[in-house]
Amino acid sequence: MCALDPAGRRVHDKALPNGWTALRRVFTDVGTRGPVLVVVDQPASIGALAIGVARAMSIDVALFAMLRSGQPYRPPVGDDTKPAAAAA
């Protein structure tokens, strides 16, 4: 898990904690440095806990589409890709 402050500096760069309390602690600590957005690329597995904790804390969550190796993501026609591009 990596967290950046509003200036783009890394403020957290460690393995994703595997527990509700530990994730709350990390999200709270990161939140003292600016707004928090949790971006998850595996929502049905390891990301499920992070999503649950973030939502319980009223933190915004963004989901990245799971990509096949080497194939670019092409959103369906009409999708707004600006939020995903900004998060990347």
Measure the CA–CA gap between 19 and 50, rounded to whole angstroms: 9
According to DSSP H, which parts of 9-81 are helical?
20-31, 47-56
Mean pLDDT of the chain: 76
Q: How many residues does this entry show for the chain? A: 88
Measure the CA–CA gap between 40 and 53, rounded to whole angstroms: 12
Please write the tens of the pLDDT for every residue from 35-73: 888 888 777 777 889 889 999 999 988 877 644 444 444
**Which residues contact residue 32 at a Cβ distance below 8 angstroms, ignoring those fewer than 6 apart?**
none
DSSP state at residue 86? H
Which pTM was predicted?
Answer: 0.67
